[in-house]
């Protein structure tokens, strides 16, 4: 069972967010975020528990993935250059970053 489903069940049983975090071994802030999304989602817990894992995780995902950022394409084009430069003597990642 996924941690999200466990989190939902523990929340439904009345456990505090801190207790849920301890039981599942995840950050309390993450539990708070998931519980807030659960409350604001407008979907019953029983419906969420019946969903498949990928669909459920998609409903709780936060933010946008890095690869959807247009800057990622520019960075991806520079990777071969960075790899080549890092092979040179005295070139560091910090130097390339500057």
46 and 71 within one domain = no
73 and 45 within one domain = no
Query: 24: number of CA atoms within 13 Å, CB side?
Result: 25
50 and 15 within one domain = yes
pTM of the entire predicted model: 0.56
78 and 30 within one domain = no
What spatial distance separates the first Cα and last Cα of the chain, rounded to whole Å?
45
- Find tokens 């807030």 and name the residue: 36
51 and 88 within one domain = no
Instruction: Identify the band that residue 49 occupies on the pLDDT scale cut at 50, 70 and 90.
Output: confident
88 and 50 within one domain = no
**C-alpha distances in angstroms, 37 versus 10, 57, 68?**
15, 12, 22
CATH number at residue 11: 1.10.10
40 and 17 within one domain = yes
Q: Give pLDDT tens digits for 14-30.
A: 999 999 999 999 899 98
Structure tokens at 79: 């990777």
DSSP-derived secondary structure letter, 63: S
17 and 56 within one domain = yes
Domain hosting 44: range is 3-60
């Amino acid at each position: 069972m996924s941690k999200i489903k466990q989190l939902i069940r523990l929340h439904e049983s009345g456990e505090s967010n801190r207790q849920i975090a301890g039981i599942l071994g995840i950050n309390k802030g993450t539990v708070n975020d998931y519980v807030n999304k659960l409350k604001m989602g407008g979907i019953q817990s029983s419906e969420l528990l019946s969903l498949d894992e990928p669909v459920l995780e998609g409903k709780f995902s936060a933010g946008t993935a890095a690869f959807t950022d247009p800057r990622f394409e520019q960075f991806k084009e520079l990777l071969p250059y960075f790899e080549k430069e890092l092979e040179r003597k005295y070139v560091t990642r910090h130097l390339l970053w500057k």
